[in-house]
Structure 1
Amino acid sequence: MPQVEDGRPRTDSFSLDVVLVRIGQFGKLQILIYILICIPILLNSFQAVSYIFVASTVVHRCQIPECDKPNSTYQESWIDFAIPKKLNGDLDNCRRYVSVNKNLDPCSADAFHQSPIEECGTDLIFRDKEVTISNDFDIFCSDEWKLAMVGTINNVGMFIGIPLGGYFADRYGRKNILAIFGFLSAVTGVAQCFTTDFFTFMFFGLLTNLFGSSIYSIVFVLGLEMVSPKLQLIGCTIMTIVYAIGQTVFGLVAKYFLNWRLIQMIFFIPALFQIFFLFIIPESARWLLSQGEEDRAVKVVQKLAKSNNRKLSQPTLDKLVLTYRYKLEESNEGKFPIKETFQILFWRIVNCCLCWFTNVLLYYGLNVNMVLLGGNKYDNFMLVSLIEIPGILLPFWTMNRFGRRYSLFGFMILSGICIAATVFVRSELFYVQVALLLLGKMSVGASFQVLYFFTSEIFPTNVRNSLLSFCSMVGRLGSMVAPQTPVMAKYHESAPAILFSACALLSGFLAFLFPETNDTVLPSTLKEAEKIGQKKELEADAEIQLLKTIS
């Protein structure tokens, strides 16, 4: 029975978490919903990094009219006489030696000057069969700045779309925005595959990322709100692993389907079916209760109970509804108290934004720098993606054992130390550097998992998606800086590592300023969010004790 104060149920004594434990914390319907909402994660995971392959430069050289024939290949016996080499030993993509003596064999060493160099003509010879927008839209040499712009425009779309999606998800429902934004992202993505010029491609790329960038955070929050605290970590770990698998699949698809249009169609066409989520999956009962939509919330809870062969009495449902009704009344909040949240939790939000910036900077910065290492770029990308999986599993053990704060601190510090150590490793020890960077990337993946979870736990339900999206938006500044870090290395070889490690160490120590959320329920109101971490409140929390007793 719920505890009573002044004729009203205690606001912490009969929440949705208690009901979820009673009807089955992870029953058949919840498992089915988790499988369904993991599909958008799988299909959406490639968007943030698609430019790595879609907009990459195709290896090419100048065509030498004096020597090349219709069946000529990238490497020919006379190539060293005709084309200069770059510092790394590769052939220059855009320049050739000047042909000087027409009376000699046109492909002999004496037929070319080794000092006068001229730009290529419009005809090029390609090494591979790969088709990116570079050779599809004739973007070569002096125009290659356009390729770098693709990643920038993608991030601009994400910068706008992440908070927009979060805001709409908090105002109009998780399920609705997941279905609509996922469908619109797929439509614009398919349209992009049929573009025939660079600027139309960029326009649809902007729209695709604007709609698609908030999909992961919406799914994450929806999955978090669907189960009780005991199983939230398991559910969200599954979703994060699916994201890493999705990126690995993208690398595999890009390796064997060498046409950028086909690669994107493979992911975008199935994503069109996300519109049916409007009719297939239920809305978050937790969100419905926070919006005062009690009848719809009760129907969702009853549906979950029925799928687990459990029954809930009408008095039980009435107590659940009354508990949330009184919570909203006592908190004296509107349905969307974003302004009040910024005022009361300002420094928590600032610290959260800084942690997001650091994690995104390291996550994408290490991706970019690892892919640029020697070897096959597709294999490098898949290796960097797969190393995230052990990093994702680590928090599954540490978060409950040591808490959120210590886990975030530990992973960020470990990442900073590993990256800093690469500064002191000689360049000849290539595999030691790679091992340290991979360990650093694994630690960043673990930190990211904790941070996603942490951010979802320290803000109230009615603004949870908005603030998660806001912090993620600020983090996107890190993804804009990340592609520029290889340029920093031209001025100082260790500059990227110094930047990454400094940010990681700073954010690691600032993690101690967060309240600890381990073994607490998700706050429904701003008042509850403000009290997170206060020891007396935690010890007096009757709901936690009730959850432990039931489970």
Structure 2
Amino acid sequence: MSDVGEIIKTLGDFGRFQCWLLLLLTLASPSIGFHMFGQLFMVIEQPHYCNTSWFNAIGLNLTKEERLNLTLPKRSDGTFEECLMYTPVDQDLDAIIKYGLNSTEKCQDGWVYPSKQEPSLLTQFDLVCDRHDLHDISQSIYMLGLLTGALASGLLSDRFGRRPITLLSLLIEGTFGVAAAFVPNFYLYSAFRFLVGAAVSGIAISTLALATEWVGPDYRPQTVIVSHLGFVVGQMVLAGLAYAIRDWRMLQVAGSAPVFGLFFYLWVLPESARWLAAKGKMEEAKKLLQKAASVNKRTIPPKLLQQLKPEKTKSASILELLRNPHLGKVTFLMSSVWFVNSLAYYGLSLNVGSFGFNIYLTQVIFGAVEIPARLSCVFLMQWLGRKKCQTFALFLGGTICLLITVIPKDLPVLVTVFAISGKFILSGSFSTSYVYSAELFPTVVRQTGVGVCQMAARLAGIISPLIGLLDKYHPSIPVVIFGSTAVVGGILSSFLPETCGKELSDHLDDNAGNQRPSKTIRGSLESGYLKSNEDITEQRMTTRF
């Protein structure tokens, strides 16, 4: 049993200190929702056709409609082709009118957007025709940033602490999020998005550790899931911002700049006492625990603080996840769960505009349904346990995705209802994954382990937009892939150990599958009995062997 876990029981599993910490973590989440899905509203399809200004000098006396009829081919429905134009010729107007133009080619001088709407990412950088796939590729680059950040921030957070990585990630997110609004080309925009993605991973991983390492076992699901509600609010606010601000540069600034309002975190965001103790920084850990007890209006018995001694532990690295048989199994299974969960979740979320319904309203609903989905997980995880909740959610969410493929496309409302139901369940599964992962890995490699799991999720995020490109062959292919992989993930999660109601393990030689139940810890403290160092050592030996 962790000495820090005993002390947290004494100062309060969830008091005023933890409430204040939870508020801080929640305030950092809305910007993540914006950056994750904001680009969807910057590339909304607009009517366009090839720029045929070469003809202006020839047809000076013609109307705009007449010039377009002579220079642009038409589809069978009578509308102009969006990506083709007639090949320019060196002839006079009379010859062109008499014989017409027959040879066609791709647009050579850009495109014209007749709707005259506010500048969007699509119109600013011509993400149409042959350049249309750049949108999905850019989204994959952002996901690549998430993957890179998941690995880097996990390792750095375990080495330097949760607090400094959180603060650094917030600074990078705000700086490059705003800078992306002023880029001269799409390639620099994608590079800045990569850096923002890396920062978002840093925030998600480090705040997850703070949310779980400062509370008792019974409050971990509530703390993690409530902090995620900020992400949900960010999705809903995004829809309102995108509807009100159609200029993509202003929208990018409006969604990124508020992060700088969190500068006061420099003075108020605490470090994890568990991490400090695991790293041997006992005096800092004791001061922080006493401060938390003071805020909670509780007193930590001096004898209990004296028992908090540094322990000789093996150096922890990412290789430990492979060397330790139990952690190797957990890492493989949990990474697989994160992969399929992310693939299906982002597969639905990033195709919000393809269901045939109003994109702004659909985004609000997509965000709103996550609130009851995530909150219901609090009760389901306590009632069914982590494993059953994870397995059931992935299996059911995948099944609903598969059902979408049999619904006729001329019923957009029904398709949207099923898509919303699928996202409802998959978002609950995502919340379960966060709690489950934090409980499965010991403190010394918790961030590294969660980082590896998030790498798997980000790899799925990279692939997800690219899978969406397969709809050109058949609209059902992407959804079938998303649904079937989620079902497989539900089966794999059934092989994970249960962690409900068990104390967090701190060291590599603590078997995460056999953690001590929290009720035993509570009972020893509530009776007023303070264990001696020998008693604690004996209990550890019994628990491990």
Residue 214 of structure 1 aligns to a residue in which SS?
Answer: helix
Structure 1 residues 50-97: Cα deviation after superposition (integer angstroms, max 9, x where no partner): 33234555443346778999xx99xx8998998667799986433357
Deviation at 1:197, TM superposition (A): 2.4
Of 279, 302, 308, which residue of structure 2 is paired with 1:314? 302
Whether the 8 Å contact between 1:175 and 1:277 is mirrored in structure 2 is no
Question: Residue 7 of structure 1 aligns with which residue?
Answer: none
Q: Is the 8 A contact 1:229 1:521 kept in 2?
A: yes
Give how far 1:354 is off: 0.8
- Hey, what does 1:399 align to over in structure 2? 381
CA distance in 2, matches of 1:266, 1:401: 41
TM superposition shift of 1:248: 1.6
SS at match of 2:351: helix
Q: Secondary structure at the match of 2:430?
A: helix
Which residue of the partner structure matches residue 6 of structure 1?
none
- How far 1:271 sits from its partner (Å)? 1.6
Gapped runs of 5+ residues in structure 2?
A: 529-545
Query: Secondary structure, in 3 states, of the residue corresponding to 2:119?
Result: coil
Q: 1:340 pairs with 313, 317, 320, which one?
A: 320
RMSD of aligned alpha carbons: 3.3
Q: Which amino acid aligns with 2:286?
A: V
**Which residue of 1 is the match for residue 194 of structure 2?**
206
Task: Write the deviation string for residues 140-185 of structure 1: whole angstroms up to 9, x where unpaired.
Answer: 4333443333212212222211110111111111011100121122
Contact 1:416 1:440 in 2 (8 A): yes
Q: Is the 8 A contact 2:144 2:459 kept in 1?
A: no
> 1:218 aligned to 184, 201, 206, which one?
206
Alpha carbons of structure 1 residues 98 and 233: separation in structure 2 relative to 1, 3 Å: same
Q: Does structure 1 conserve the Cα–Cα contact (< 8 Å) formed by 2:402 and 2:480?
A: yes
1:410 aligns to 2:398 (yes or no): no
2:123 matched residue in structure 1: 135
- TM-score calculated relative to the size of structure 2: 0.85
SS in 1 for 2:255: helix
Give 1:8's aligned residue.
none
18, 26, 32: which one pairs with 1:30?
18
Amino acid at match of 2:314: E
* 8 Å Cα contact 1:180/1:275 also seen in 2: no
Distance 2:299 2:79 in 1: 70
Given the superposition, is the C-alpha separation of residues 496 and 145 from structure 1 closer, same or farther in structure 2, using an over 3 Å criterion?
A: closer
For 2:346 and 2:523, the matched residues in 1 are separated by 41
* 1:363 paired to 2:363: no
Corresponding position: 1:242 with 2:224:
no
Of the candidates 201, 208, 220, which is equivalent to residue 232 of structure 1? 220
2:418 is equivalent to residue 436 of structure 1: yes
Alignment of 1:524-543 (within 5 A): 524-528=506-510, 530-532=511-513, 534=514, 538=516, 542-543=520-521
**CA 1:53–1:431 in 2, change beyond 3 Å: closer, same or farther?**
closer
Q: Residues 77 and 310 (structure 1 numbering): CA distance in 2 closer, same or farther, change over 3 Å?
A: farther
Deviations 1:99-150 (A, max 9, x none): 999679x9xxx99979765555546133252322332245543334433332
* Paired residue total: 518
Could you tell me the TM-score, scaled by structure 1's length? 0.84
Aligned residue for 1:519? 501
* Residues 232-241 or 336-345, more deviating: 336-345
SS in structure 1 opposite 2:319? helix
Q: Secondary structure at the match of 2:113?
A: strand
Amino acid at match of 2:257: I
Structure 2 CA distance for partners of 1:56 and 1:155, relative to 1, 3 Å = farther
Paired residue type of 1:498 = V
Partner SS state of residue 338, structure 1:
coil
AA matched with 2:271 = E
Does residue 1:463 correspond to 2:452, yes or no?
no
Q: Name whichever of 455-464 and 270-279 sits farther off.
A: 270-279
1:279 corresponds to 2:271: no
Query: CA distance change for structure 1 residues 403 and 154 in 2, over 3 Å: closer, same or farther?
Result: same
Moved more, 538-547 or 287-296: 538-547
Q: What is residue 532 of structure 2 aligned with on the other side? A: none
Residue 94 of structure 1 corresponds to 83
Mapped to 2, the partners of 1:297 and 1:407 lie a distance apart of: 34
Q: In 2, distance between residues paired with 1:196 and 1:305?
A: 52
Contact kept? 1:18, 1:546, Cα under 8 Å: no
1:192 corresponds to 2:192? no
Are 2:341 and 1:352 aligned?
no
Q: Residues 519 and 544 of structure 1 are in contact (CA less than 8 Å); yes or no, is this contact kept in structure 2?
A: no
Is 1:381 the counterpart of 2:363? The answer is yes
Q: Assess, with a 3 A threshold, how the Cα gap between structure 1 residues 406 and 86 changes in structure 2: closer, same or farther.
A: farther
SS in 1 for 2:117: coil
Cα distance in 1 for partners of 2:148, 2:459 equals: 11
1:17 maps to 5
Task: Give the drift of 1:313.
Answer: 2.9
Q: Distance in 2 between matches of 1:61 and 1:300?
A: 63
Residue 52 (1) aligns with residue 40 (2)? yes
CA distance in 1, matches of 2:128, 2:429: 39
Instruction: Give the CA deviation at 1:516.
Output: 0.2
Which residue is 1:61 aligned to? 49
One-letter code aligned to 1:45: G
Letter in 2 for 1:333: K
- In the alignment, residue 340 of structure 1 is paired with which amino acid? E
Distance 1:466 1:376, change over 3 A: same
| Paired residues of 1:170 and 1:465 also in contact (CA < 8 A) | yes
The CA distance in 1 between the partners of 2:345 and 2:278, in whole Å, is: 34
Change (3 A) 1:237 1:547: farther
* 1:452-493 Cα shifts (integer Å, max 9, x gaps): 110110000111111101111121121112112333233233
Distance in structure 1 (CA, Å) of the matches to 2:14 and 2:518: 27
